[in-house]
Structure 1
Amino acid sequence: MIAAGHPFAPPSHEQRWIDTATELAAEFAKTAAEYDESAELPLANLQALHASGLDVALLPAEYGGESLSYRSFGTIVRLLGAACPSTACIWVMHIGAATGLVTRSTPDVARFYADELIAGRRFANALSEPTGGNLFLMPLQHAAPVPGGYELTGAKRFASGCEIADHFLINALVDGQPAFFGLAADPSTMAYIPIWDTMGLRASRSQLIEFTGTLLRADRLCPPSTGPHPNHIGAGLAFLSLGIADAAVTALVAHARKRVIPTTGKPLAEMQWLRFEAADVHTRLEAAGMYAHHMCWLADQNSADFIPATMRAKQLANVIAVDAAQLAVRVGGASAGYLRSSPIERLFRDAQAGGLMAYSVEVCKDVIGAGLLAD
């Protein structure tokens, strides 16, 4: 973690929220394996986060929150990601959808969504389309004009926590242009398709949603964005992977210290090859963490550089999470790294998810490389 007083460190007056998250994360870690095994939504964890005040703290001050900094938000997501990645994933999407609707809506609508979050209502995003790949901000599905708004028939996928959501941040093409709406859950026109049988982040239950003539209300249309617009989903995804990497490093260190090599009688931690590889993972994790905090500092400055920084931060964090988890499997061996009874096995599966989530590692690298090599 970044030392207090560093420009990228969370503001000192927000430390109580990080302390709160630390306490919650310790409890969430106790049930992470159970939720993974059952693929059940960690509703109790999400309710605990709301009850702690963290959800509301992230709202802008003018809507009843504390305008909690992105630097603190990232730190909190990293703590939650190390404890229970599925909980962290759902929470990032919940906060991202809620704060997105508050900050992008007209004042009256923003007040409505802020009050809904304060009251404990659940939010989710419905942005990714089955045929859209990484183009989650550029929808392909059209919403047709109807009285009162626009009608959408189509599907969205990977909607984390959708089954308990009261409100969605959703997008569609309106008059050929991408448009964002707030949408109340509507069981009469929306169906959740139970296809979620995934390798990692099993308890996030990121289902497919089918829409059949769903009304996107005109008064819930978000006005076009002007100027820089940081968002909590873009900021949070890097820290989700960093948290998984933290947990993997903690697990491999603990095992390497206690595992004795029969042929030498010495702990595995004294093997030079492991020291070299552990040093490499540790150094890269520190660097990825530092850059992620830089990204959040840019968000707190409302800098236009936030968007390209999210791509750099995400791919750095995604890659180091996979590499840290892979090393943990090697250190754990068959008994501590490969069996379902081991937390290392779950962390390895969870680590794969970040690089597949939009924007994927490959897309991030392509955008970064294209910008570097352009005339």
Structure 2
Amino acid sequence: MLTRPSPVVIPASEQPWLEVAAGLAERMRATVAADDESGELPIEHLRAIAASGLDTAFLPEEAGGEALSYATLVQVVRTFAHAHPAVAAVWLMHIGAAHGLVTMSEPAASAYFAERLRAGDRFSNALSEPAGGNHFLSSQQDAPAATDGTGWTLTGRKLFVSGVEAADHLLLNVRVDGGPAFFGVDRDDTMSLPPIDQTIGMRATRSRTILFESTLLARDRLCGPPPADYANLITVGFGALSIGIAESAIDALTESASRVKGPGPALAEASWVKQETALVWAELRAARLLVEQTAWLADQRDPQVMAAATETKMLANEVAKKAAALALKVGGGGAYLARSPIQRIFRDAQAGALMAYSVPFSAEIVGGWVLSEPV
């Protein structure tokens, strides 16, 4: 695919990690179609990422990591998503949950979660809940105090927990004493998984509901507020997930359009294909620049990073859908066949816009910011 230089420079010391990610992605690409068809969690790829040391490298230095930059984070997510969106999504949720727990927990719990990540344990986010929608960070579930004073208990459910089947630890939110609270919770037998309601796209994320029955939320696992200059890895990296999918759509489109299917020239020679591809590619470039700018703001500890991330996710999600739709249009009937990668890419491209914050919700927020600025 045609590329242009980026103004965001990856530190030289972190460049080898991009090569590691590229090597892992090549192995992911070999199984993406089969994993989508089976809908099973590609756990071997996730374990390979952990074994490479990449998970640990994103930890803060004081937790035994290398404090890799956000600029590197978004390039890794983009690389993984281009090859295997489901792996990219589960990995981003995993590393985001682990990094958040290490950052926000009290020292003893922080050290524990960092050690468990280094040991290869899996982490998931248990934040979405029935009727929660885009307000997934503002839990409506009240957790009563435990009778023995050790914390609180949760009976209820969380939805769309990616990779939960393999999760050893959860970053979970509830409401305690009338206010929001986040906890680090170890998986135990008070939690269960009802039958899966399979998604259409990103099937291999295995996003499932998890049920809690009097699960203890220990007082010593209660998270504190994040540092004022901390940017959550998931929020910063989410746009890159859609960028990787959009790039794979452009690649599939190019391959399909360049193939000579009859006596005439290939579709790549048609004016309408060139024109529509040009517009989508330019939007993709713009969205990728927004992703990189958001990462740069996070690395600068700029307070505007979270607002920029909302704008970025909104645009990147829509660009992925446009690129996939164009690939489907150019691919024609063949793109609808199960053997075509385009039909999978098209389904995967829809997922980002549905995930909180959804595109309509984000657009309302961003539009409000724009319209409230003085003229």
The AA in structure 1 aligned to 2:83 is: A
1:26 aligned partner:
26
Q: Give the secondary structure class of the aligned counterpart of 2:171.
A: strand
Q: How does 1:202-217 map to 2 (within 5 A)?
A: 202-217=203-218
Aligned 8 A contact 1:281 1:324 in 2: yes
What is the deviation of 1:226? Answer: 4.4
What is the deviation of 1:12? Answer: 2.2
1:252 aligned partner:
253
Aligned 8 A contact 1:92 1:236 in 2: yes
1:373 aligned partner:
371
How many equivalent residue pairs?
Answer: 369
2:70 aligned partner:
70
The AA in structure 1 aligned to 2:333 is: A
1:310 aligned partner:
309
Give the alignment's Cα RMSD to 1 decimal. 1.2
2: distance between equivalents of 1:193 and 1:92? 24
Aligned 8 A contact 2:103 2:226 in 1: no
Aligned 8 A contact 1:261 1:268 in 2: no
Deviates more, 1:356-365 or 1:230-239: 230-239
TM-score by length of 1: 0.96
Gaps of 5+ in 1: none
Gaps of 5+ in 2: none
List per-residue Cα deviations over 1:242-263 (Å, max 9, x = no partner). Answer: 100010000100111113454x
Q: How does 1:1-375 map to 2 (within 5 A)?
A: 3=5, 6=7, 8-146=8-146, 147-187=149-189, 189-262=190-263, 265-335=264-334, 337-374=335-372
List per-residue Cα deviations over 1:125-175 (Å, max 9, x = no partner). Answer: 000111100111100001111121001111100000011100000000011
Q: Give the secondary structure class of the aligned counterpart of 1:304.
A: coil
What is the deviation of 1:9? Answer: 2.6
Aligned 8 A contact 1:244 1:321 in 2: yes
1: distance between equivalents of 2:53 and 2:247? 25
What is the deviation of 1:339? Answer: 0.7
What is the deviation of 1:229? Answer: 2.3
The AA in structure 1 aligned to 2:56 is: V
Aligned 8 A contact 1:2 1:9 in 2: no
What is the deviation of 1:2? Answer: 6.5
Q: 1:173 to 1:359 in 2, by over 3 A?
A: same
What is the deviation of 1:374? Answer: 2.6
List per-residue Cα deviations over 1:267-291 (Å, max 9, x = no partner). Answer: 1100000000000011000000001
1: distance between equivalents of 2:261 and 2:36? 30
1: distance between equivalents of 2:261 and 2:266? 4
Aligned 8 A contact 1:2 1:290 in 2: no
% identical aligned pairs? 47
TM-score by length of 2: 0.96
2: distance between equivalents of 1:202 and 1:339? 17
The AA in structure 2 aligned to 1:168 is: L
